[in-house]
Structure 1
Amino acid sequence: MKWRYGDPSAHDPEVLPTEEEITVIDIYSTATKLSFKRFPSHSIAEDLALNGYLATAPLHPELAISFKTLELFRSIRLFKASFSTEAFAKLLCHMYTIPYRRFYRTALADAFDIYLTLLRDVKTQVMGALGRDAPGWRAKNACPACNYKIVGEEPPTFNRMIVMDGNNSLKRVATSGGRQQADLRVFEDHDYFLPRDFVDQYANEVKSRQVPRKPELVEDPHAMPEAESEDEAAPEAEGDPTDGAEQLGACASNWKAAAADEKKRMWSIYDESGIFASACRHSLILWIADMVRSGELAKYGIATTAKVLTEIGGKNMHGYDIGCEFLATVNNSSIGEAFRDSGSCFCVNAFHGYSHSYTCQVKFHPLRIVGMGLEDLETMERIFSASNQLASITRYASPYRCRVLIAMFFEHWDSEKYSNIGLMLYNNYRQALQIIEEKTPMLHEAMSALQITEADLEKYRAEEREYFSSLRDEDPEDLRDVLYVEALRELEELRDTSARYYDRTARAADAAAKAGSGPALTFLTPTSGPTTYDADLSATRKLETRRRYLRDRVDQLTADVNEIEVRFGIEKRWEPMDEKYLKAVKYIATRTYQRALGRLQRLVIQRLFELHKMNIAQTGYKARTYIAKNLQRRCKAIRTAVKAYNAAASALDPPRETIDWSTASHYNFIEQFPFLQDTRNDLREKSWAMPAGREVMRLSERVARAHEEIKNVHRELRRLQTWIRDEEQLFTAVLADLKDKNPELHGAVLEFWRRRKTANARNAAYIHATHTLPGFSGIREPGTHDGPSLLPSHLQGAATSAAPDMLTEMAGISVGDSELPDLVEEEDEMDEQMTGLLEFMHTLAL
């Protein structure tokens, strides 16, 4: 701090220094030697630091690296997280025109660790001077749009919208072969990470369980059963987020299957198998937990929720891709009572929600929840898309360096997302205004055409929720009947085949007896061309094998049918014309139709997510190529599934309408699945199940969420505006207080303020842009904070009476009406693409 912000040349004139020389690295000057003054009262590391260099050893260094070089390396890593130490060391060797040696990489890595430690110490002092060093301050107050409440504001439906999810990209390989970890340092200088002992408090809240298997009625009765895999035979002791529910739902089954595909039980070569992170809806990180030698277990989500309850409190909405099932897990855990008392709830993310069952979507999809606005809660997907860049440099790092790099990345992420809060609110407001302007006339016209009112729409929603909540799984008695009738049908079919075979043999025997020609013979079908004894012998043996198989299979099926009749108390064997038999045959046709429809739905949804994955940033070439090939196969599979569906639909009584490939390949086809599944025709006469009724309900919900988003942006925009004004007063008072008391700390605070001022200027510009939008109906002036002052207690009397206008003087940027469009439209192209994606996800009809 003295070198950077103070006077490094100041020293006691009575003390005579000595001259020393050391080998140095400085990418700016490419100097190889540094002559510097040594003072008896200083260590060599201190004297080098006063000259702008960091020693690579504390007592007898042979090399020193300039602070400017280390800062350049840090800055590159902030904006290119995958940039490795080895790459920068090779760059330095290139600039110095010397051969690369691993020694330089090691020296650079060690010096960089020390440099980051110094920066963290400086930031700790800066935060202390600003009064922001209280435990948990960052998570509570880093996002002013979430936290900085204003006196007299309209209370929100949810105090905060919080998202959480796990990601297995940031895996770290453990040491192997019994070797000890060389780097034993523990990184505890940041409050991003939840302590492992805190997370492990909830390790035994949920026990693992396997997915219960229903009776499988395989299409091929002769297929050999598959052997259980090793993972299936040995479930984890700890449960995943879905294991806390009393009954396993369809969403949980699908999530477990997906988790198995993603290697939910991590290989033992990894010490950390990823991270479980949480953030606010404005993308600022709350907490991170290491997933230690495990997949996405329940304890990580429970620990994060417990932290939210104790540190943030209030009624919050938690978005999680399996939130529908995890809600039951939380309610059954040790924090369940506190969670219920807070009024908080869980929901699913908008995009992931379309892969959930329709019953789940009706209750847990953001489009259906009052107060959610236009929030899609897919924040963690965007965060992980960026943080995946770290994977290449953390995979083989030590635990200390792995955490250091993750913390550095997310600290920079938060600073960027803070500067984009105004942009996010501006885009959300524009999107909400556009929806209201375009969809409201369409909604009124449709309601008028259908002669329905808002009260009717509410009635439809209630009926829809009641209908889908009353749906149940297959009745075990129906499954028994299916098993019995399928066995009877197969037995009858084999008997017919066997009878035809034996009838042919019997006729041949009778003919032989009448002709007195000896034993009966069955002749093979005549063939043209030459024949061989071996070929004829093989064909004869195949016929004999076929005869033995038919006889044995008939005996086996007869025994199976007898066993079923004894077990279920069936006194008289069902005949094809019996009422129960016909009912079971009809149910089998329906069941075949449902399974064909389920497979088609699964393939269409997989195609949807793979197309989404193709557009995710940082998806590598190999991954994109692999996904593209999978899409080609998936499209063929969908065509096959369409054929199977049409065959099953035609077999129903009455037959269902068939579909073609163009219909199944369209995204909006997803909305049809819940209604195609209705084979009892219970929905045919429901107004809310008609295509027109569903479209009106969707439009109504979309418009309602847009009006909610308008209110949310009004509230959050004014909070941000008030925060910017109050924060300028804070820095003005703190800088004035430190100017004479502590010049070095004054310089550090001033540098922090300059960067913060630029971010605030950007936010202020978007606040003004939102205020000038046609249709803006909020309050344009900042308010009064409903809470303690930002100023430390000893400076509260020193606050300036009036702060400069942030829109015109922040960071020296003149933001006039003529210049504002340029600032706002810089990112319009990218914003429109993202808005289009969000609009597409929301227009996927439920």
Structure 2
Amino acid sequence: MPSVRTTRNRTSATSSSKAIRTSASLRQKSGRVVSAQKTLKSTAIRVAQEEEAERHAQRLQNMSRRQRRELEQLQDIPEVDFDDDFEDDVLHGRATAQISHEGDAFAREARTNAELFEEIRKDQRKQYPDKRTRRNRTQIQVDAFAPQLERMADTYMDWSVEIGEEDGLASTYRLPEGTRVQGIRKVVVVDIFAASREDLHFVAGDALEACSCIRQGWIPSSPTTPTAVITIRALEIFRVTRLRCPRLGIQAFVRALCDIHGVAPRPWLTTQFSVAFDVYLAVRAIVDRRVQVALGRHTPNWRLKNACPACLYPLQGEPTLKIPIMATFDGNNSLSRSDLCEKSEVDESGAWIQGASKARRDNRVAPGDYYIPREEVNRWAKDAGVDVMKSFAAEGLEDEHDGACRERWQNMKESVTSRAYGMYDETGIFLCLCRHGFVLVVEDMVKSGELSKYALSVTAHLLKVLGKLAIGYDIGCLLDKLVKAHPELSALAEEKGFKALVGAFHGHGHNRLCGIDYLMTYVEGVGLEALEGCESFFSKSNALASTTRHASRFHRQQAITTYLKHTDTFDTYSGLVSLLSSKYRRALEIRSTYQTLRQAMRELGVQSRDEFQQWREKERAHLRTLSKEPVQETLEMEYYQKLVNLREAEENTSAILNAPPPPAEANADYAEAVKTTRRLEAQRRHALELHERALKAVQDLEIRLLVQRRWRPEDAEWRAAATLVSHRRYQRTLDSLQGLIIARMFELGKCNMSGTGYKLRKHIAKALQARSKAVKAAIDRYNEAARAMQPPKPTLEWEEVVEYAFLADFDLLREGREDIREEKWAQPAGRAAMDQHYKLLRADEEIQRLNIEIRRLVTHMRDEEQFLTREEGRLQEEGKGALAYQVRLLREERGRFTERHTAQLLKLRSIPGFTGSLTPGVSISRERHEPVARNQDTDMPPPSTPPPELESTQSGDDDGDDDHSGDEDYDLAEAFLNIIRISQDSGGGVSDVTYIDS
């Protein structure tokens, strides 16, 4: 038996041999792996070399001839054997050069001459034109600033409180004692009168570097590590100055700063200032939103529902107006924006194709809710649903006067409004104002003119939010029919209550028949309002065009919305009482002419003012007869013409049926005979079909005219209809000429009427000048038809027609279907009396509306001041001092005009004939009455106990009686105290002045 050692040795040998075999196997496998790796590496190197060769060939192809020549010269550099071994060692990395940092770099990386050449080649490549686009750089910057804005707003609110306790924007930043500074860095600070390098202190607690800048009164121009900042003082001065002078652009302001600093213009400073200004406006927008949330005014459409205190602040117990709210809208193409595109190209058909847009990416949205989104506007386009124009014609809503109006107004022509200059993206704005000038909503007109979708979308939005209203438009006659033709909008208008009007300024440019129905003088409930505020607004806002024409979409909307908000607060609201006072005085002047109307009525023999309404109906009926032929006469003439056609068909049929057959020829071809027979058979069949068709037409007209016996040539009806047909062309031309001359005479009377403003007279004069061409053409057509009559009718000359001042001079009216020369409504005295009657009606309505609006404004001023004072105190108690300070600024912003409003209202109260009241009432809206817990998801706060009703202390009634009831001195003192209370600045606390009615 072998020993244990022997067994162990044998086992060890066996294990060793196994290990050797395993090791050999592993080495063999490892060799195969290494070989595979080498193969893959060589393949990868070959692929990389091929790709590099392709890239090199592409680079050579993109190079100019001069660049390729310089590259070839570089490639000719030989490998030089340096005599100096040290230099050769340094270049090959075998020695360290201590002479400079470049030598040290050589030591760290051993490079051959070929490698040096490759580096030079790379440097040469950097000089090639960069064909990459940088359209996302603005978006990258916006995305970098976005997460910082909320904290920047926090710091801005704290900074506002600090400077508010000192000298405001004139304050100079001083580092508080004991502040722990974690770091300091130098930045360039651009201020109004100087630019310097100052220390940016990083204080413990600053979350962001941008917050450190704001704490020192600066706005950074870069989201990370800014090297230049702009002072908030400079940005605020530019913001306010630009709002007062919209023509001022950033470039002009920055160059003015450079002039003040005594340096040449810095082109990069404009970009830095623009970035800082955008950030500053974004921070202010966040602060404004926080204030609205704290006040419970952040709900959807809150601003629209409270845009105008005179229109949209109803009180308890006030009279109900027939038209609660009046608005006006219009389009304006001055604020268009050029579309930055590539060069246009010509396609195969020869048409120009606009190039791709080069605008930079920017997903920012303008602050506020003035704009109606484009998606909502496009929902009312005819391509997105109902074709309104087709429905308009299909339902028979087009009246006889629409064609005349459409020829005079470009925005009534779909073929014109659908076109726009290709160089513009936004071609203008479509603006809606209330009757006092406050902006309700605005839209962008995109690559089109004033399409109907803009008017329809605004109308739908206002009806949904505000309810019953009337809208004045320069083509209100078409708007009314478009609303009725649209199924969804017509149902909404019927539910809420809607009335379309033609503004007084544009009304006399329309057809007279259209004016009778849509001119505001004849519409009940509108008062003396002209609804032409858009024109005066555009005259001021057009100054924005120079700074927005080449701006981006966001910057254009930002400038427009900022301007609209500023105008509402500092222009429209500040002049609201002045506007109400001027309207009141004008209405009182018109009411003072009542006795003049009574005297005119006695001279005309008019017993009641109700007769004026009958005159208007007669005028409408007469003008309708001139626009269309009478139905009975038209049917009789058509019946006569069909009888003539039937007699001709009978004669033709009889001739064909009774015609003898053609004689047969001896040598006639059979095929030719067949053709002749077929031709005669076709003629016979056609004659019978024409006879049958003519007979059916005659029978249909006989049923409509209730003809018992068919007319014959010897009948009187036949001869009368024949006369009408012969006179038809003459009568048509006479009706057209008569309608144009009547409208011209009536508008001449309006043009020379006392009380007509200069602008309105000029507008009427331009309309008459344009209409003169139509009158001349109508005269030519009439003269041609008059000469063709038997016997010939008298002709007209243009000089003769121009001299017509009264309808009595128009002697040709006796040739019309109805002679209206003796009608009272056609006489000059009758026209003046009728116009005066409608003016008095509208003046009474205006005074009633103004009495309501003035009391609403007084109540709003009191409630707003009380509410903001109370909310400011509440926020102070809750430890939100920075937010309370912002509420205080809002209160002072509104309160700065209270003193002026008070003085103007008291002055209005003292004029004879004032029947309103300056005593504040109780608003229907409860949100300003008392503090309650608000629900963040609802428009209104939870219901609360309403305040006690105020005792009525009105100094007069709204029925037009000038007698004042009660103690007049007491009423005046009470009104004065109630209003002057509002102008007291309580400094954030509760005022000591107490309301008399409380």
In the alignment, the residues of structure 1 paired with residue 634 and residue 797 of structure 2 have an alpha-carbon distance, to the nearest angstrom, of 26
In the alignment, the residues of structure 1 paired with residue 860 and residue 246 of structure 2 have an alpha-carbon distance, to the nearest angstrom, of 30
What is residue 820 of structure 2 aligned with on the other side? 683
In the alignment, the residues of structure 1 paired with residue 561 and residue 416 of structure 2 have an alpha-carbon distance, to the nearest angstrom, of 25
2:396 equivalent to 1:246: yes
Note the C-alpha offset of 1:186.
3.1
2:356 equivalent to 1:181: no
2:908 equivalent to 1:763: no
Q: Which of the numbers 847, 857, 864 marks the counterpart of 1:727?
A: 864
Q: 2:434, 2:440 within 8 Å by CA — same for their partners in 1?
A: yes
Q: Which of the numbers 470, 477, 480 marks the counterpart of 1:327?
A: 480
Letter in 2 for 1:745: L
Helix, strand or coil for the counterpart of 1:283?
Answer: coil
Note the C-alpha offset of 1:179.
3.7
Q: Which of the numbers 246, 258, 266 marks the counterpart of 2:410?
A: 258
2:609 equivalent to 1:454: yes
Q: 1:39, 1:47 within 8 Å by CA — same for their partners in 2?
A: yes
In the alignment, the residues of structure 2 paired with residue 677 and residue 331 of structure 1 have an alpha-carbon distance, to the nearest angstrom, of 39
In the alignment, the residues of structure 2 paired with residue 85 and residue 47 of structure 1 have an alpha-carbon distance, to the nearest angstrom, of 25
Q: Which of the numbers 882, 886, 895 marks the counterpart of 1:744?
A: 882
Helix, strand or coil for the counterpart of 1:157?
Answer: coil
Q: 1:276, 1:289 within 8 Å by CA — same for their partners in 2?
A: yes
Helix, strand or coil for the counterpart of 2:925?
Answer: coil
What is residue 286 of structure 2 aligned with on the other side? 121
Q: Is the alpha carbon distance of 1:680 and 1:774 closer, same or farther for their aligned partners in structure 2, counting shifts above 3 Å?
A: same
Note the C-alpha offset of 1:14.
6.9
In the alignment, the residues of structure 1 paired with residue 388 and residue 287 of structure 2 have an alpha-carbon distance, to the nearest angstrom, of 41
In the alignment, the residues of structure 2 paired with residue 473 and residue 639 of structure 1 have an alpha-carbon distance, to the nearest angstrom, of 18
Note the C-alpha offset of 1:83.
1.5
Bigger radius of gyration, 1 or 2?
Answer: 2
Q: Is the alpha carbon distance of 1:301 and 1:586 closer, same or farther for their aligned partners in structure 2, counting shifts above 3 Å?
A: same
Note the C-alpha offset of 1:19.
2.8
Q: Which of the numbers 502, 517, 520 marks the counterpart of 1:366?
A: 520
In the alignment, the residues of structure 2 paired with residue 414 and residue 441 of structure 1 have an alpha-carbon distance, to the nearest angstrom, of 40
What is residue 840 of structure 2 aligned with on the other side? 703
In the alignment, the residues of structure 1 paired with residue 612 and residue 795 of structure 2 have an alpha-carbon distance, to the nearest angstrom, of 28
2:932 equivalent to 1:773: no
Can you list the C-alpha shifts for 1:203-231, whole angstroms capped at 9, x where unaligned?
Answer: 237989xxxxxxxxxxxxxxxxxxxxxxx
Q: 2:509, 2:767 within 8 Å by CA — same for their partners in 1?
A: no
Letter in 2 for 1:305: T
Letter in 1 for 2:410: A
Can you list the C-alpha shifts for 1:573-617, whole angstroms capped at 9, x where unaligned?
Answer: xxxxx9888756654445445556778899999999999xx9889
Deviating more after overlay: 585-594 vs 695-704: 585-594
Indicate the RMSD between aligned Cα atoms, in angstroms.
4.7
Note the C-alpha offset of 1:696.
1.4
Helix, strand or coil for the counterpart of 1:277?
Answer: strand
Q: Is the alpha carbon distance of 1:694 and 1:797 closer, same or farther for their aligned partners in structure 2, counting shifts above 3 Å?
A: closer
For structure 2, the 5+ residue unaligned runs are 1-156, 164-172, 343-355, 642-692, 696-718, 935-943, 951-973, 986-998
Letter in 1 for 2:367: D
What is residue 427 of structure 1 aligned with on the other side? 582
Helix, strand or coil for the counterpart of 2:919?
Answer: coil
What is residue 557 of structure 1 aligned with on the other side? none
Pairs within 5 Å for 1:335-354: 335-354=489-508
Q: 1:324, 1:360 within 8 Å by CA — same for their partners in 2?
A: yes
Helix, strand or coil for the counterpart of 2:219?
Answer: strand
Can you list the C-alpha shifts for 1:547-578, whole angstroms capped at 9, x where unaligned?
Answer: xxxxxxxxxxxxxxxxxxxx999xxxxxxxx9
Pairs within 5 Å for 1:195-206: 195-204=373-382
Helix, strand or coil for the counterpart of 2:527?
Answer: coil
Q: 2:372, 2:443 within 8 Å by CA — same for their partners in 1?
A: yes
Q: TM-score, normalised by structure 1?
A: 0.71
Q: Is the alpha carbon distance of 1:599 and 1:273 closer, same or farther for their aligned partners in structure 2, counting shifts above 3 Å?
A: farther
Pairs within 5 Å for 1:118-157: 118-157=283-322
Q: 2:626, 2:735 within 8 Å by CA — same for their partners in 1?
A: no
Q: Is the alpha carbon distance of 1:632 and 1:308 closer, same or farther for their aligned partners in structure 2, counting shifts above 3 Å?
A: closer
In the alignment, the residues of structure 1 paired with residue 815 and residue 384 of structure 2 have an alpha-carbon distance, to the nearest angstrom, of 35
Q: 1:244, 1:326 within 8 Å by CA — same for their partners in 2?
A: no
Q: 2:185, 2:200 within 8 Å by CA — same for their partners in 1?
A: yes
Helix, strand or coil for the counterpart of 1:162?
Answer: strand
Q: TM-score, normalised by structure 2?
A: 0.61
Pairs within 5 Å for 1:625-704: 679-704=816-841
Q: 1:194, 1:289 within 8 Å by CA — same for their partners in 2?
A: yes
Can you list the C-alpha shifts for 1:675-710, whole angstroms capped at 9, x where unaligned?
Answer: 979932342343323332222111100111111111
Q: Which has the higher contact order (CA 8 A, sep 6+)?
A: 1
Q: 1:207, 1:243 within 8 Å by CA — same for their partners in 2?
A: no
Letter in 2 for 1:768: L
In the alignment, the residues of structure 1 paired with residue 814 and residue 447 of structure 2 have an alpha-carbon distance, to the nearest angstrom, of 41
Q: 1:240, 1:296 within 8 Å by CA — same for their partners in 2?
A: no
Deviating more after overlay: 583-592 vs 268-277: 583-592
Q: 1:206, 1:329 within 8 Å by CA — same for their partners in 2?
A: no
2:476 equivalent to 1:357: no
Helix, strand or coil for the counterpart of 2:329?
Answer: strand
In the alignment, the residues of structure 2 paired with residue 244 and residue 69 of structure 1 have an alpha-carbon distance, to the nearest angstrom, of 61
2:209 equivalent to 1:72: no
2:932 equivalent to 1:793: yes
Q: Is the alpha carbon distance of 1:635 and 1:344 closer, same or farther for their aligned partners in structure 2, counting shifts above 3 Å?
A: closer
What is residue 753 of structure 1 aligned with on the other side? 891
Q: Is the alpha carbon distance of 1:460 and 1:633 closer, same or farther for their aligned partners in structure 2, counting shifts above 3 Å?
A: closer
What is residue 456 of structure 2 aligned with on the other side? 302
Letter in 2 for 1:81: P
In the alignment, the residues of structure 2 paired with residue 762 and residue 319 of structure 1 have an alpha-carbon distance, to the nearest angstrom, of 30
Letter in 1 for 2:362: L
Q: 1:725, 1:803 within 8 Å by CA — same for their partners in 2?
A: no
2:541 equivalent to 1:387: yes
Letter in 1 for 2:302: W
Note the C-alpha offset of 1:151.
1.4
Q: Is the alpha carbon distance of 1:700 and 1:188 closer, same or farther for their aligned partners in structure 2, counting shifts above 3 Å?
A: same
Q: Which of the numbers 30, 48, 73 marks the counterpart of 2:194?
A: 30
Q: 1:758, 1:810 within 8 Å by CA — same for their partners in 2?
A: no
Letter in 2 for 1:254: C
In the alignment, the residues of structure 2 paired with residue 254 and residue 408 of structure 1 have an alpha-carbon distance, to the nearest angstrom, of 37
In the alignment, the residues of structure 1 paired with residue 176 and residue 886 of structure 2 have an alpha-carbon distance, to the nearest angstrom, of 21
Q: Is the alpha carbon distance of 1:16 and 1:691 closer, same or farther for their aligned partners in structure 2, counting shifts above 3 Å?
A: closer
What is residue 664 of structure 2 aligned with on the other side? none
In the alignment, the residues of structure 2 paired with residue 671 and residue 685 of structure 1 have an alpha-carbon distance, to the nearest angstrom, of 8
Helix, strand or coil for the counterpart of 1:267?
Answer: coil
